[in-house]
């Protein structure tokens, strides 16, 4: 499993990095670039009809460290979930988790001027899908739960300790991604179980 076998994950990584580079180049030293200003979640603007921000915010990042950590997490989890569900179903999990995280972040910031952005809501949805796979594939339950729960707990714990992090967005994305994954059937579950069994022998 690599990015070659995960075209949608590769596409999301590419889009995020291109958007980040363009936003930084257009910022002219300012903290908020033009793409961030036009696409981040800002509750008052969304209430005035700019609903696209619920989606565009998921492709924007504030700092290099922000996008670097999100990219690493997406790479680690995305290539596996895309392999298991197939690109089309994985895209549904990712995009609906992105939307769920964006909506939760919007609701939690109503009445505040704080902008919210980042792919972490969608990525939490991908980890939620791994947790769901643990119950869809009982022979791999222990391994999959360990792979899913540790990043989820660490992310939520960091969010609770840091007021600048939207834990509402994380939780919204996690729930949305897990629900979509629960409704969909993985396309390669049997193959992975067979491979794991042969390696164990």
The phi-psi region of residue 154 (left if phi > 0; otherwise alpha if psi is between -120 and 50; otherwise beta) is alpha
The number of beta carbons lying within 10 Å of the beta carbon of residue 139 is 14
Q: Is the CB of residue 60 less than 8 Å from the CB of residue 27? A: no
Residues with active-site annotation = 120, 170
Q: Is the CB of residue 134 less than 8 Å from the CB of residue 159? A: no
pLDDT tens series, the chain, 201 aa: 677 789 999 999 999 999 999 999 998 777 788 999 999 999 999 999 999 999 999 999 999 999 999 999 999 999 999 999 999 999 999 999 999 999 999 999 999 988 999 999 999 999 999 999 999 988 888 999 999 999 999 999 988 888 778 899 999 999 999 999 999 989 887 666 666 545 443
Q: Spell out the residues 6+ positions from residue 141 whose beta carbon is closer than 8 angstroms to its own.
A: 134, 135
pTM over 0.75: yes
Q: Decide if domain 3-200 falls under CATH 3.55.50.30.
A: no
Q: Spell out the residues 6+ positions from residue 34 whose beta carbon is closer than 8 angstroms to its own.
A: 23, 26, 27
Helical pair 141-161 and 120-136, crossing angle rounded to 10 deg: 150
């Amino acid at each position: 499993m690599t990015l070659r076998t995960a075209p949608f994950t590769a596409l999301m990584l590419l889009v995020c990095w291109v958007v980040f580079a363009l936003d930084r180049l257009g910022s002219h030293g300012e903290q908020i670039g033009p793409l961030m200003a036009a696409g981040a979640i800002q509750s008052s603007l969304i209430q005035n009809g700019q609903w696209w921000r619920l989606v565009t915010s998921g492709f924007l990042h504030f700092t290099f460290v922000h996008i670097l950590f999100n990219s690493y997490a997406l790479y680690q989890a995305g290539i596996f979930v895309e392999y298991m569900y197939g690109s089309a179903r994985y895209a549904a999990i990712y995009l609906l988790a992105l939307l769920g995280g964006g909506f939760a972040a919007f609701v939690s910031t109503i009445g505040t001027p704080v902008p919210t952005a980042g792919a972490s809501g969608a990525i939490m949805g991908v980890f939620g899908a791994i947790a769901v796979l643990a119950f869809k594939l009982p022979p791999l339950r222990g391994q999959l739960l360990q792979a899913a729960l540790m990043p989820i707990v660490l992310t939520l714990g960091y969010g609770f300790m840091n007021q600048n992090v939207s834990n509402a967005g994380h939780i919204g994305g996690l729930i949305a991604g897990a629900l979509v994954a629960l409704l969909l059937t993985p396309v390669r579950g049997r193959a992975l179980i067979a491979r794991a069994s042969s390696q164990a022998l």
